[in-house]
């Protein structure tokens, strides 16, 4: 099954989308908090490129990497937002637009996983 | 690390809680907008203010919202000449509350808007979780 990198890429993508929606939820919740700076995850491409340098376990006492090689994505401050009078940089409009983007991307990835899963099953059933 | 979608719901619910407290403060202000003092020359109802602060939730690593403080607006009370009023001072002036209904209503609209955005976030996180669960269904 390792030949099909698709499933691992798709689940990485879904995990990235989940992290992004957590970041957006955080921004929306803090839309009225003075001094709060809007945060976001770096683009999926950048996150995948930087994630390849995972540390190797050469000693059993080393901390184990998270299960299934699950990557976590770091949040960064979103650049280019204009602060309001209170020092807050959240714009609800931007957040809701990003939210819609996340929604459609997530259902596309889930749809792709479902479609490939059906293809695999049909090849098993013959 | 908790599940990210669940974390999204947790931080949105902290936002919902903060905004509903804000609505509560607005409604207290509006309800008491014309409350005067009980004793002659006394101070009337002072407008309440609310401020938010971020709070790091160590379990999820997210910044939740919490109520920083519910304070009192120090704006001076407007006085009106009403000698017959029970709260009038020796010169016949009654101090009125410093609540401005227009400010309260616009604050209410803003709180409503933020509440709706948080609610939309909860709805969407639930839909995304539902999509993932639907993958288990053989279609």
Query: Looking at residues B13-22, what average pLDDT do you find?
Result: 94
Query: Is residue B54 within 8 Å of B65, Cβ to Cβ?
Result: yes
| pLDDT given at position B86 | 87
Report the residue from B117, B132, B135 with minimal CB separation from A28.
Answer: B117
- Under the banding of pLDDT at 50, 70 and 90, the label for residue A79 is confident
Q: In Å, how far are A21, A39, B22, B125 from B5, measured between CA atoms?
A: 7, 16, 26, 6
A11 to chain B, closest Cα gap in Å: 10
Query: Is residue A66 within 8 Å of A45, Cβ to Cβ?
Result: no
Query: Looking at residues A30-43, what average pLDDT do you find?
Result: 90
Query: Looking at residues A75-100, what average pLDDT do you find?
Result: 87
Checking if the pLDDT of A1 tops 80, the result is no
A77 sits in the region (left: phi over 0; alpha: psi -120 to 50; else beta) called beta
Report the residue from A25, A29, A121 with minimal CB separation from B125.
Answer: A25
| pLDDT given at position A50 | 74
Strand B79-81 with B62-72, pairing: unpaired
A42 to chain B, closest Cα gap in Å: 16
Per-residue pLDDT of B27-77, as tens digits, reads 999 999 988 888 888 889 999 999 999 888 877 677 889 999 999 999 999
**Which single residue is written with the structure tokens 């669960």?**
B133
How many C-beta atoms lie closer than 10 Å to residue B38's C-beta?
Answer: 9
Distance between CA atoms of A104 and B136, rounded to whole angstroms? 20
Query: Is residue A114 within 8 Å of B135, Cβ to Cβ?
Result: yes
Distance between CA atoms of A121 and B58, rounded to whole angstroms? 42
Angle at B84 between CA B81 and CA B86, to 5 degrees: 100
Angle at B127 between CA B123 and CA B130, to 5 degrees: 140
- Under the banding of pLDDT at 50, 70 and 90, the label for residue A68 is very low
Q: Do A103 and B18 touch (CB under 8 A)?
A: no
Q: Provide, for chain B, the percentages of residues in helix, strand and coil under a 3-state DSSP scheme, each rounded to the nearest 5.
A: 45, 20, 35
| pLDDT given at position A58 | 74
Chain B touched by A47 (CB under 8 Å): no
Query: Looking at residues B120-126, what average pLDDT do you find?
Result: 95
Return the residue of B nearest to A21 by Cα.
B8
Q: How far does chain A reach from its first CA to its final CA, in angstroms?
A: 18
Q: Which residues pair with B65 in a beta bridge?
A: B54
């Amino acid at each position: 099954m390792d030949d099909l990198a698709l499933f691992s890429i798709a689940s990485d993508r879904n995990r990235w989308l989940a992290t992004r929606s957590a970041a957006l939820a955080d921004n929306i919740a803090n839309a009225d908090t003075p001094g709060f700076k809007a945060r976001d995850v770096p683009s999926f491409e950048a996150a995948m490129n930087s994630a390849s340098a995972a540390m190797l376990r050469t000693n059993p006492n080393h901390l184990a990497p998270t299960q299934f090689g699950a990557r976590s994505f770091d949040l960064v401050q979103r650049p280019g937002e204009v602060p309001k009078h209170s020092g807050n940089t959240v714009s609800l409009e931007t957040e809701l637009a990003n939210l819609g983007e996340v929604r459609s991307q997530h259902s596309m990835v889930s749809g792709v996983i479902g479609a490939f899963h059906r293809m695999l099953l049909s090849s098993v059933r013959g | 690390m908790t599940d990210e979608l669940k974390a999204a719901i947790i931080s949105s619910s902290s936002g919902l809680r903060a905004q509903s407290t804000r609505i509560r403060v607005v409604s207290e202000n509006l309800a008491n907008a014309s409350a005067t003092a009980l004793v002659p020359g006394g101070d009337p109802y002072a407008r309440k203010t609310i401020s938010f602060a971020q709070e790091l939730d160590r379990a999820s690593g997210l910044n939740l919202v919490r109520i920083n403080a519910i304070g009192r607006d120090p704006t001076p009370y407007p006085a009106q000449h009403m000698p017959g009023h029970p709260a009038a001072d020796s010169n016949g002036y009654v101090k009125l509350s410093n609540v401005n209904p227009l400010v309260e209503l616009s604050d209410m609209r803003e709180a409503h808007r933020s509440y709706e955005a948080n609610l939309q976030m909860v709805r969407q996180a639930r839909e995304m979780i539902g999509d993932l669960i639907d993958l288990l269904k053989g279609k």
